[in-house]
Structure 1
Amino acid sequence: MRINRPMKVLFISYFSPPSGGVPIRRLIPMLKYLPEYGVDAIILTCQSPRYYALDTEEKIPDKVTVYRAPELLATTRKEGGGIIRDHYKIRRNHIFSSLRFLYNLIRYPDPQWLWIPKAIELGEEIIEKENPDVILATQPPTTNLLIGYALSISTGKPLILDYRDFWASKPYIERNNPLHLLIDRVMEKRVIDEASSIWCVTVPMLVEMKKRFPAHRDKMVYIPNGYDEDDFKNIKRERYEDNIIILIHTGPITPVRSPEIFLNALREVSEELKGEKTIEFHQFGYVHPSFNNLFKDMKDLVFLHQQMSHREVIQEMVNADVGVCIAGVFSSDRVGFPQKAYEYLRAGIPVLAIAPFNDNYRWMTRSGLGWQADPYDIESIKSVIRHAISDRRAINNDIITNFEWRRLSKLAYKLISKVKSSKSFVKNYLSL
């Protein structure tokens, strides 16, 4: 008699609680809700990751089996943006340019590379012990995908790639040598070739990935980011001032996606109001030191907040009037739609996106959920700011509920089940 057992999924993620911020906002809801559909979730994560942010209130769900692999030469963990500082170091002295070249050459594919050897070693032990049906590697960091690829090759387990950002065209590591880019392109193709399914967080990213890898377009699907309804339980608006307009931005501010043009536009609009209304920009998250002087000059307009738990930030979103997203001109920005945008909308506030045009933002503006302006067009930015502070629109919750993570996890379950039943689309095809 055949006994059906729960489907097991091994997640590969360098970051996990108590690490907070962007890297876990997609991971945790999947770990939380997939067991409702009969999935036993297992996670292989780093023992002592360098944090984007520390959130002691964030927990891995109790039903999840957790394994932690150490990094080689593990250093003291950094909190409040340590890993971001590694990504966005500004060149201060040409004397160090050669050393930086060598450092970046060694540090492949990203600053988390020292986790790879121990993660693969422990991963093989986990697979032998737990016998998962599927490996699911989420990215970034790209290191996760390489670990998933190595484990899939060595064990024959089908591999799912969860792309939250591009790989070979990502902006985060300084690309001051062509060798990295060449290696990236070669390795990405190998990993894509091995994968059974590839998930993309936006439709424009899905379109771009299909163009880059046409032979694997049938393996690529769209699973958006979203929000967790539980994060909003017992959260209510606590302020109702009509003469103060609060714009909120959550997440890091870095040179890659500079707020300078936006803030200059915001200051000009604020001066136009001549005291009739007060505009306040509230930043929650790491701020790169290169912006210290800019923020000091705008101390009456810009308010920086110390690190908070995710639930505390949700409360601040609900209290705000407009949620701000700031993007750049990189390939990921041209196809992106950030996680926080869904949380802004669920909080009941429209989105003010300072970002390149793409289909995600066209959908947002056409649905009446917010406004968009080119990040380098100050007149366009001022125009949308004026709209945002004068148009106190209500958000259509019927649209937003499509992005609740319990619903999205059901879609993820169906896709994982398809991979499990076929074992691997690629391997089945090659065995014909």
Structure 2
Amino acid sequence: MKKVLVISYYFPPAGGPGVQRWLKFVKYLRDEGYEPVLYVPQGAAYPVTDESLAAEIPPGLTIYRGRIVEPSSIFSSGKKISAGFIDASSGKKGWKSRLMTWVRANVFIPDARMLWIRPSVRRLKKILREEGIDTLISTGPPHSTHLIALGLKRADPHLQWIADFRDPWTKIDYFHHLPLTRWARRRHFRLESEVLARADQVIVVTPSMARDYRPRVRGRLHVITNGYDTEDLPDSPPPLDEKFTLCHVGSLNADRNPYELWEVLARLRAQDPAFRDDLRICLTGNVSPAVFETLRKNGLDDCVQHIPYVPHAQVVRSQHAARVLLMLMNRTPDGALYIAGKLFEYLAAARPVLLVGFAHSDAADILRECRAGYALDFSDREGLEEALRNLYRQYRLGQDTGRETDPQSEKYTRRALTARLAREVLACPPEHPSPEES
């Protein structure tokens, strides 16, 4: 089988959403005739870990681990943080925290994993030669992985480089919060543009990202979304929650705080004693204090259950047990660019989805395509109330117990997406010669 090097920051024992995409690609690539060879960090400060995911690593997989030094562990005072950039909300804290945020935003570019770049390039030159590999894939964020690949491409222009963007770089939801100097902002844009121009092929996860990146990509540009793994689905679905449970899985930061939804729920509770007794809001994952404060102000704190983190298998079961799954988008200028990975697991759960954010977006289009629920704008209080009344009525009448997935969702299985990766990306020659050859 042809070997392909995959450079990824996230890999088990890392938990959370960032690990899922390439863990699943690696899981199924052998079925498509490719042998993945992994390069991942040793000693990474992952924000969450999930030891259970190690069971999904294919037997005999070659994994090289490169020691990483992360200044994030210093700047966060021992607190584990998410990859990519920083916790921009720290700017609201004391001067020491603001100073650390400024340093991390303007010195550690593109992210706090930048110290991993040079030693990785040196080591991977040897690994590529010894393994006889001529195709490499970098996946980010953190985007330091792309700069490792860029260094290898500069050293050997004949390497075929595929850059996979799970999220945008300079249009990531928190980028506009960062206290960036003009120099740092320009450097981010320059590095992003160089990666897009030098990669032989670029993969993004949404059509909107593809439209945004197209002018700067010299090679082939592909859209391969995230998806769901049928092997993750429970053998027998768990019983549905007795309460009218609205379930959100994943990080719920201040930009995703759906205060209009909380207001509508508070009004419905005030109007209907039965709704008041039946409503339960389950939030699994990191939740911003601003969200809890909004819930408290709306008198909803008594019906909220918060679960900071659970293994992925338990997350899947909670999705299948929920009465309604909440899909909350970022209230940011580029929020419509995103399709959160959880949307595809929601489709697999075959429970009604209530999307609050951008009614005209890629995520909303998929929801409608698969006839999986409601897609409403943030400010559409009337639409939110109507949707919630309909969902609650179905719950009370016992008409929300169906668990059949729409056939349209089958193209989002991890097996199908890996087959596309092999057929449309790995099997295709680059569309242009490397700059040194042209």
TM-score range, shorter chain: 0.7 to 0.9
Runs of 5+ consecutive residues of structure 2 not aligned to the other structure: none
The correspondence of residues 293-312 of structure 1 with structure 2, limited to 5 A, is 293-295=293-295, 298-312=300-314
Alignment match, 2:120? 119
After TM superposition, list the pairs within 5 Å mapping 1:2-401 onto structure 2. Answer: 6-59=1-54, 60-72=57-69, 75=73, 82-83=81-82, 86-93=86-93, 95-96=95-96, 97=98, 100-156=101-157, 157-173=159-175, 174-210=178-214, 212-213=215-216, 216=218, 219-239=220-240, 241=242, 244-276=243-275, 278-295=278-295, 298-356=300-358, 357-365=360-368, 367-391=370-394, 394=402, 395-401=404-410
Q: Distance in 1 between matches of 2:61 and 2:273?
A: 55
For the 8 Å contact 1:323–1:341, the answer to whether it is kept is: no
Distance 2:307 2:101 in 1: 32
- Partners of 1:73 and 1:142 in 2: CA distance: 14
**CA shift in 2, pair 1:165/1:133, >3 Å:** same
- Helix, strand or coil at the partner of 1:19: coil
Matches of 2:110 and 2:412 in 1, distance apart? 31
Question: Once the 2 structures are TM-superposed, how far is the Cα of residue 206 of structure 1 from its aligned partner?
Answer: 1.7
With normalisation by structure 1, the TM-score equals 0.88
Letter of the 1:185 counterpart: F
Look up the match of 1:3: none
Percent same amino acid among aligned pairs?
21
Displacement after TM superposition at 1:23 (Å): 0.5
> SS at the partner of 1:286?
coil
d(CA) in 1 for partners of 2:61, 2:385:
47
1:40-64 Cα distance to aligned partner (Å, 9 max, x none) = 1111111122223221101133242
Q: RMSD value over aligned CA atoms?
A: 2.7
Which digits, 9 at most, give the CA deviation of each residue in 1:219-265, with x for residues without a partner? 11111111001101424122363xx2111111111123224333233
Structure 1 residues 102-155: Cα deviation after superposition (integer angstroms, max 9, x where no partner): 332112112322322332232223212212231111121111111111122223
Name the structure 1 match of 2:411. Answer: 402
**Aligned partner of residue 91 in structure 2, secondary structure:** coil
Partner of 2:432: 426
Q: Which moved more, 1:6-15 or 1:394-403?
A: 394-403
Cα distance in 2 for residues equivalent to 1:155 and 1:100: 36
Q: Rate the CA distance shift 1:247–1:81 in 2: closer, same or farther, 3 A.
A: farther
Q: 1:430 to 1:125 in 2, by over 3 A?
A: closer
CA drift at 1:278: 0.9
What is the count of residue pairs matched by the alignment?
419
> Conserved in 1, the CA contact under 8 Å of 2:102 and 2:179?
no
Contact 2:251–2:286 under 8 Å retained in 1: yes
Alignment-mate amino acid for residue 41 of structure 1? P
Q: Would you say the 8 A contact 2:329–2:356 is kept in 1?
A: yes
**Structure 2 length normalisation: TM-score?**
0.87
Deviations 1:255-297 (A, max 9, x none): 2322433323323233333215612111111123444444555
Partner amino acid for 1:69? Answer: G
Does the CA-based 8 Å contact 1:202-1:222 persist in structure 2? yes
